[in-house]
Copies of this chain bind each other. A is one copy, B any other.
Amino acid sequence: APPEKPARLGLCAACHGEDGVGRIPGAPNLAGQKLDYLREALRQYRDGRRDIPVMRAATGPLTDAELDRLAEWYSALPPPKAAQ
């Protein structure tokens, strides 16, 4: 069964979609990405090891558990059908 929709998904979906397909330039596709990579990337954005202001602002208030729910949501989605 797919994971339950995370409470914080709306913040991500503006740029990455609820379906994990990037909506704006620079916003990567997330659908089907590896879970361990997404979990770690979110922590890197939150603590500044990835120094991207919009992502630091988005992840700053979130707990580890909230980050993990988001990573699980996007990882479980089917990858986009075609490149781009």
Contacts and interface: CB of A to CB of B under 8 A. Distances in A.
Contacts of A80: 32, 79
A44 B33 contact: no
Interface in A54-80: 75-80
Interface residues of A, number: 29
Given A49-B51, A50-B44, A79-B79, A84 B28 contact: no
Contacts of A51: 49-50
Most buried by B among A44, A77, A79, A81: A79
12 contacts: A25-B36, A26-B34, A27-B37, A29-B33, A29-B79, A32-B79, A32-B80, A35-B84, A49-B50, A49-B51, A78-B83, A79-B82
